[in-house]
Amino acid sequence: MLVKNQVYEAVVTDYTAEGQGVAHVEGCAVFLPNAIAGERVRLRIEKAQKTWASGKIVEILEKSPHRCNRACPVAKLCGGCDFWHMDYEEETRLKAERVKTCLNRLGGEALTEVPILAAPDCRGYRNKAQYPVAAKKGRAYAGFFRAGTHDVVENQRCLILPEETDTVKDAVMDYVNQFRVSVYDEATHKGLLRHIYVRRGAVSGQILVCLVCNGEKLPKVDALLARLKRIPGFTTLVLSVNTKKGNAVLGDEFITLYGPGYIEDTLCGLNFRLSPRSFYQVNHHQAQRLYETAIEQAGITKNDTVLDLYCGVGTITLAMASAAGKVIGVEVIPQAVEDARDNARRNGIDNAEFFCGDAGQAALELERNGVRPDVVVVDPPRKGLNADTIEALSRMAPRRIVYVSCDPATLARDVALLKQRGYTLQSATAADLFPRCSHVETVVLLSKGEIDSKKVRVEFSLEDMDMSDFQDKATYTQIKDYVLEHSGLKVSNLYISQIKRKCGLEVGKNYNLPKAEDSRQPQCPSEKENAIREAMKYFGMI
């Protein structure tokens, strides 16, 4: 085991999902923030476990040619961005590599390369900001949380935001400090202002300001409005009431203090209405490219019915409407569904229908009512598809499934599940919607029995032939890869089988209990047990 505070020398070989460097020392994976693959470093261990550790770079002995000076002065402290220490070439390389590795390891593919739609501009692209506010010595300030904490790191000028957005933040803070508006304190659950939320239409330039408050009333609203009205594009001011403890930024109640309570923007040639709660991709240019790729892959014809699950305000649904016979969107947030219906009307689209509900349950309901879409688009949140959605897809058997994903690991898991139901992965494209940050979007096309010129690739290992694997949703290899990726631990088939048995799951014949009573098997240590349980939860097995 590595020793805390001791300094070791190692080469950075890889990255974690969060963009930290990974080096191996004495067989142990060490996670290093701000490290770049290929660099030889001296590192100090900060936390040591049996098979993994985290540390800090003490000295870079061999610098990567991709290392660069951080353009953002608070990048090292602020938890908002991950990659200001490297050039954009390395950032896009590692993102494409991550998508490929996930699809190969967790999705059972054998891709040699995944193309990535790189962004033309890494700065000023984010059309939404959520600044937490804090106060020290009687002065209130706004910024972003330090990574892994709720300490606010003050940020004067955030480089991935347009300048107008920071101007709004400054105007609000000026008002807060002048009128001594109290600032929320998590520890005491007292104080009024929690977050400044700003959304700006990339094309329209319209600005929505939403102040998240631990209460229903703001003092001196006129003075605030006087400041905001001086900012070009300012359209509406909304108060979001959030009196709950916890991490959710927005509350459930919204009070419009000025303007219509929403803004408009243009995307894929259509006009969209956007409320504070509605999901809208933060990078307009790259979202448009992602959607164009999704539309192309969907291969829609005029007679097709398209089902768009997790449709938000109907961006993809409506962008596909003109090519299709009929489009149906499903979304769980009522306000977003209202926006989606309004968006259909304002664009004169009359072949679109929207349902509010859980994607899986709604899809099963549609299937029971005889709806058989030709193409299904899914764009779920990070946790990916739930069991109902997979089941509904399987029963509806669309010709094509276009899967837009913000988490390559859950995407790969779902690809594996859909392959078990007769689908084949036809293409995968990564898209960088979050330059300088570790998130990456992916769009994949899966199809069923349509592309006969291509050979269907069947790959399996003897281990995967154990049918209990399929009944239990994830293979031993998938669990191992997940555990390695998320906790840096290596776990054996034996350990997985022990935990599966503990959870009352079927275990294949190779992993049965030892025959002799006195035979000794190593027992899964608790740290690995927790990691395996996490993986099994993730794969919906427990």
Minimum distance, C-beta of residue 381 to ligand SAH, in the bound complex (Å) = 5
| Residue linked to tokens 């689908």 | 423
Residue nearest to ligand SAH as judged by C-beta position: 312
Q: Among the options 28, 81, 213, 406, which is catalytic?
A: 406
Among the listed ranges 63-71, 152-160, 327-335, 511-519, the one in contact with ligand SAH (CB under 6 A) is 327-335
Q: Which residues pair with 328 in a beta bridge?
A: 307, 353
In degrees rounded to 5, what are phi and psi of residue 336? -70, -35
Site for ligand SAH in 331-350 (CB under 6 A): 331-333, 336
Among the listed ranges 250-258, 306-314, 450-458, 484-492, the one in contact with ligand SAH (CB under 6 A) is 306-314
Query: What track of x and - describes contact with ligand SAH for positions 248 through 287 (by CB under 6 A)?
Result: -------------------------------xxx------
Q: Measured at the alpha carbon of residue 165, what is the angle toward residues 160 and 171, in degrees to the nearest 5?
A: 140
Is residue 17 near ligand SAH by the rule CB under 6 A? Answer: no
Structure-block tokens of residue 165: 């957005």
Residue 5: exposed, middle, or buried by beta-carbon count in 10 A (0-12, 13-18, 19+)?
exposed
User: Is 311 marked active-site?
Assistant: no
Report which residue type is found at 382: R
Among 29, 238, 359, 532, binds ligand SAH (CB under 6 A): 359
Is residue 316 near ligand SAH by the rule CB under 6 A? Answer: yes
Is residue 312 near ligand SAH by the rule CB under 6 A? Answer: yes
Q: Strand runs (DSSP E) across 102-192, as ranges?
A: 116-117, 128-136, 139-145, 152-154
Residue 310 · residue 278 · CB < 8 Å:
no
Among the listed ranges 38-46, 107-115, 310-318, 433-441, the one in contact with ligand SAH (CB under 6 A) is 310-318
Minimum distance, C-beta of residue 447 to ligand SAH, in the bound complex (Å) = 20
Minimum distance, C-beta of residue 21 to ligand SAH, in the bound complex (Å) = 30
| Residue linked to tokens 């014949």 | 509
Is residue 410 near ligand SAH by the rule CB under 6 A? Answer: no
In degrees rounded to 5, what are phi and psi of residue 66? -90, -5
DSSP SS3 for 9:
strand
Residues in the chain: 542
Q: Which is nearer to ligand SAH, 125 or 310 (CB)?
A: 310
Minimum distance, C-beta of residue 250 to ligand SAH, in the bound complex (Å) = 12
Structure-block tokens of residue 32: 């290093």
Minimum distance, C-beta of residue 368 to ligand SAH, in the bound complex (Å) = 17
Minimum distance, C-beta of residue 337 to ligand SAH, in the bound complex (Å) = 9
Residue 480 · residue 491 · CB < 8 Å:
yes
DSSP SS3 for 352:
strand
Is residue 440 near ligand SAH by the rule CB under 6 A? Answer: no
In 3D space, the residue among 237, 208, 235, 234 whose CA is nearest the CA of residue 220 turns out to be 237
Residues with a known catalytic role: 406
| Footprint of ligand SAH (CB under 6 A) | 279-281, 310-312, 315-316, 330-333, 336, 358-359, 379, 381
